Amino acid sequence: MLLPLGLGFLVAVLIGYQPITGFFIGATLTATSIGVTVPVLKELNCLESEEGLVITGAAILDDVLGLILLSTILAVVQT
């Protein structure tokens, strides 16, 4: 979660966006893991294995934390 946030922020600031916009871009990049993880695990027939369940749980947790971060940034920007 921290890697996409940090890299998104860094790239956005380096190309000229304001820091708050960089945080927003980084936060949008954090909430994408479940949409990729489940189809890949399903294709490999590993979705219901123990490892697949752990990976899916971690992806869900990552997405939830990313959405909380994104909503926090939106609340700060609106105030």
pLDDT by residue, tens only, the chain of 79 residues: 889 889 999 999 999 999 989 988 888 888 777 888 899 999 999 988 999 999 999 889 988 888 898 888 888 888 7
How many structural domains compose the chain? Answer: 1
pLDDT in the model for residue 74: 86
Cα–Cα distance list, 47 to 12, 30, 32, 50, 65 (Å): 35, 22, 18, 8, 22
pLDDT in the model for residue 79: 74
Render the burial of 33-69: b for 16+ CB within 10 Å, e for the rest: bbeebbeebeeeeebeeeebeebbeebeebbeebeeb
Task: Choose among 38, 39, 23, 22: nearest CA to 73.
Answer: 23
Domain that holds residue 39: 2-78
pLDDT in the model for residue 49: 93
C-alpha 48/C-alpha 43 separation (Å) is 12
